[in-house]
Amino acid sequence: MACKIKPIQSPPELTSPREQEEEDSILEAGAEEEPNKLVVAALYEALNHRDVAAVHSLLAPHLEWWFHGPRTCQHMVRLLTGSCPDEEFLFRPLSVDAFGPTVLAEGHGWVHAWTVTDGVITRVREYFNTSLTVTLLGGGGGGGSTPRCQAVWQSSFHNDGGKKSVPGLVLAI
């Protein structure tokens, strides 16, 4: 008894045209997000090198700015306004992620949410982790206990054993 072998047919297309359009749009969004991340990275580089001309070229003339945190942590405003030219604070993001025009940068104890429009930063929302700031900078008066306050998000300390930062609160931006 002879066995007939049927030729293998290609499997049917697994995605519908609509699903393919959605997938293509996600890929295009990823391609759009990369330049936005580069704009924000260039801003941090310019800020850390105190390159005023480069900073001005990356920011919209009427930047919308929002800050949450202790006044002593308003490093960005002091750098951008020149109110404290000797400011030594360096912004070193630990992670940078983009979602369309929004770029989120997380550093040690801070998060910036930037909006990039046509290659120019038009808005920033700056969050300093007040709990982490109080823990690291507060309580230096010799008292045995460290004051506790509500954290906006949970940031990791330097020696966290490789654990990821976990949000304590999701911020709508």
Question: Which has the closest alpha carbon to 60: 3, 142, 6, 122?
Answer: 122
Q: Between the CA atoms of 52, 90, 63 and 132, what dihedral angle is there, to the nearest 10 degrees?
A: -170
Task: Strands of the chain (E only): list them.
Answer: 59-68, 95-99, 102-107, 110-117, 120-128
pLDDT at 116 over 90: yes
For the 30-137 domain, the top CATH level (class) is alpha beta
- 143 pLDDT exceeds 50? no
The predicted structure's pLDDT at residue 91: 82
139 pLDDT tier (thresholds 50, 70, 90): very low
- In this prediction, residue 52 has a pLDDT band, given cuts at 50, 70 and 90, of confident
Residue 100 to residue 29: CA distance in whole angstroms: 6
Cβ 155 vs Cβ 132: under 8 Å? yes
Predicted pLDDT of residue 148: 45
The pLDDT of residue 164 = 55
What are 22-29's contacts with CB under 8 Å, separation 24+? 29/100
Residue 61: count other Cβ atoms within 10 Å of its Cβ: 7
Question: Can you tell me the distance from the alpha carbon of 97 to that of 91, in angstroms, rounded to the nearest whole number?
Answer: 16
The distance from CA 126 to its chain's CA centroid, rounded to whole angstroms, is 10
Beta bridge partners of 125: 66, 113
Q: What is the pLDDT of residues 75-96, one digit of tens each?
A: 776 676 666 666 677 888 989 9
Q: Name the residue among 143, 104, 112 with its Cα closest to residue 128.
A: 112
The model's pTM:
0.59
